[in-house]
Copies of this chain bind each other. A is one copy, B any other.
């Protein structure tokens, strides 16, 4: 048992190293043997497309391999395992990096807003991205770093220190991911039935949740036109502005 654990840890380190090499394309390609039919990138893109179409659960080694007309095990020649495949999927989808060229220089609010919008757009286009990046310690690929870099750059005109810029960045992806989660939830088909049942339940137990009942009475859950991402972003930016004004 103890030995098993040790072995596992060493494996993990190797996996880490291998995974990073894969993400950064830093592996010498072989010269011998037959020409490979695939590449890690093409596999990842196919897997991402599959996830776009049928959800992350539909992405199994067999399904992805079948898309190329090869057996499941063939993929293992390109990718160490499913974990790494998912990491590559994330990278492939983040490849279209943030483009903040159109933003007036020095206007950090505009820059951050644009960054956030673009990031949210990616999450919206690929609902599985949220789950794929949840929980697991992310290995940072070049594309992820480009996004991070762009956000930090956008924040530079604030004059905030490095640590604070980083913290604001964390706040921002948090916002985006949170927004994505809410979007994903809304997208599910059973929505109407869900609303009905929940509403019913709420009416039945109104007494137990007075504040909630009041909020509902004020229309808290009625869909209004306003963009929830906008709301959160404005709150956060106002908060940052206050921090900047305080002269940190």
Contacts and interface: CB of A to CB of B under 8 A. Distances in A.
B145 A209 contact: yes
A215 to B, nearest CB: 4
Interface string A149-193: 110110010000111111110110111011101101100111001
A248 to B, nearest CB: 11
A220 interface: yes
Complex A-B, nearest 3 residue pairs according to Cβ-Cβ distance, in ascending order: A162-B218, A174-B178, A235-B239
Interface residues of A, number: 80
Contact of A173 (B153, B178, B220): B178
Interface of A: 9, 12-13, 16-17, 20, 24, 130-131, 134-135, 137-138, 140, 142, 145-146, 148-150, 152-153, 156, 161-168, 170-171, 173-175, 177-179, 181-182, 184-185, 188-190, 193-194, 197-198, 201-202, 205, 208-212, 214-222, 224, 228, 231-232, 234-240, 242-243
